[in-house]
């Protein structure tokens, strides 16, 4: 049984049909690359997984349980985390505040409930260590960090929800080369902890280096499901642009 199982997912926005029956599975500790041209439907498909959008048709199960009727909050509680491209971090606040944003640990003092800053810092440091992420002082405002370091904070925050699946939308798009490598290392770290990862990316080299399997979305359909270790860059590119179909069409034409 897969951890996450999407089957026959369809979605339209008004009269515009975006997904036409997409299947996708993720196992525990499996890293899936989700690639495809701009507008292919990648982000939409993942927002359907988190519950931000409702599918028009199709099924979604997590560990065999139907989760279609669950709210985004309930799905998160069941272990589905998504890290959005803009990361949604509070830039003026420090690492610990960001990791616990909105659910700070508290302690009772004279009958009052106060934020337990000490516990927050200790727990934040624990998450950073669990990831093996390299950050400058965790007391600095997150806005002063590089893009890659901010990505690490967002991943550490996701970890505090004890996720089974982490979905990342373009985590390396805006990063310098060295930072890309550290984010890819964090993904490997999640995998080694048995977490399933879905990586949306246009950077095919990153996808080839870190994933186990690659799903290519083309015009709202899963055009290919490729085992990464048997896949080359030209395979992916041709699945993205529909090169295979073009060649088949050309062959038919040649036959008359
Ligand atoms: N909320 C929405 N309302 C209307 N149309 C939408 C909405 N969200 C997405 N779409 C449309 O659905 C299609 C797929 O968009 P989506 O963002 O899923 O693509 P994508 O594969 O993530 O592209 P990119 O690589 O550019 O991020 C696009 O045509 C987009 O305009
Ligand atoms: Mg997108």
Tell me what the mean pLDDT of segment 179-204 comes to: 93
Ligand 1 atom having least distance to the Cα of 41: 18
Measured in Å, residue 8 CA sits from the centre of ligand 2 at 20
The pLDDT score that the predictor gives to residue 244 is: 55
- The Å distance, Cα 187 to ligand 2 centre, comes to 19
Which mutation among 14, 15, 18 tests ligand 1's pocket best, with the greatest number of atoms within 8 A of CB? 18
Give, in degrees to the nearest 5, the angle at Cα 126 between 101 and 157. 30
Q: H or E element: which one contains 129?
A: helix 117-131
pLDDT score recorded for residue 243: 65
Q: Any idea of the CA torsion for 81, 87, 89, 95, to the nearest 10 degrees?
A: 70
Q: How confident is the model at residue 133 (pLDDT cuts 50, 70, 90)?
A: confident
Q: Give pLDDT tens digits for 100-118.
A: 887 888 888 888 888 888 8
Residue spans per domain, the chain: 4-87+163-255
pLDDT per residue over 212-222, tens digit each? 999 999 999 99
Distance CA 92, CA 237 (A): 40
Q: Please identify, by atom number, the ligand 1 atom nearest to the C-alpha of residue 16.
A: 5
Task: Summarize the confidence of residues 69-90 as an average pLDDT.
Answer: 89
Q: Which residue has the higher pLDDT, 88 or 223?
A: 223
For 199-209, how does the pLDDT look when each residue is reduced to its tens digit (9 = 90+)? 999 999 999 99
Query: By CB neighbour count within 10 A (0-12 exposed, 13-18 middle, 19+ buried), where does 7 fall?
Result: middle
Q: Is 46 in the pocket of ligand 1 (CB under 6 A)?
A: no
pLDDT at residue 24, as a whole number: 96
> What is the per-residue pLDDT for 5?
97
Order across the sheet with 31-35: list the strands: 80-83, 165-169, 196-200, 31-35, 213-218, 221-227
User: Among the atoms of ligand 1, which is closest to the Cα of residue 45?
Assistant: 18
- Reported as a pLDDT band with limits 50, 70 and 90, residue 249 is very low
Question: What is the CATH code for 4-87+163-255?
Answer: 3.40.50.300
State the pLDDT at residue 252: 53
Look up the pTM and report it: 0.88
What is the percent of the chain with per-residue pLDDT over 90, rounded to a whole number?
Answer: 55
146 vs 12 pLDDT, higher one: 12
């Amino acid at each position: 049984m897969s951890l996450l199982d999407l089957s026959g997912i369809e979605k339209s926005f008004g009269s515009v049909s975006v997904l036409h029956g997409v299947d996708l599975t993720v196992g525990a500790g499996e890293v899936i690359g989700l690639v495809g041209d701009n507008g292919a439907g990648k982000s939409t498909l993942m927002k359907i997984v988190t519950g931000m959008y409702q599918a028009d048709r199709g099924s979604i199960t997590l560990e065999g349980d139907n989760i279609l009727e669950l709210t985004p909050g309930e799905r998160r509680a069941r272990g589905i985390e998504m890290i959005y491209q803009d990361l949604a971090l509070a830039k003026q606040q420090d690492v610990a505040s960001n990791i616990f944003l909105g659910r700070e640990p508290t302690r009772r003092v004279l009958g009052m409930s106060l934020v337990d800053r000490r516990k927050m810092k200790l727990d934040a440091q624990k998450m950073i260590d669990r990831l093996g992420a390299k950050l400058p002082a965790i007391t600095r405002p997150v806005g002063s960090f590089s893009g890659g370091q901010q990505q690490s904070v967002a991943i550490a925050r996701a970890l505090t929800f004890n996720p089974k699946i982490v979905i990342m939308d373009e985590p390396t798009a805006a990063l310098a080369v060295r930072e890309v490598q550290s984010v890819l290392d964090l993904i490997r770290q999640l995998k080694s902890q048995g977490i399933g990862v879905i990586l949306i990316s246009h950077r095919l080299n990153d996808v080839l280096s870190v994933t186990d399997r690659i799903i290519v979305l083309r015009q709202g359909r899963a055009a290919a499901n490729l085992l990464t270790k048997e896949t080359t860059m030209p395979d992916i590119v041709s699945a993205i642009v529909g090169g295979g179909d073009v060649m088949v069409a050309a062959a038919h034409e040649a036959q008359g």
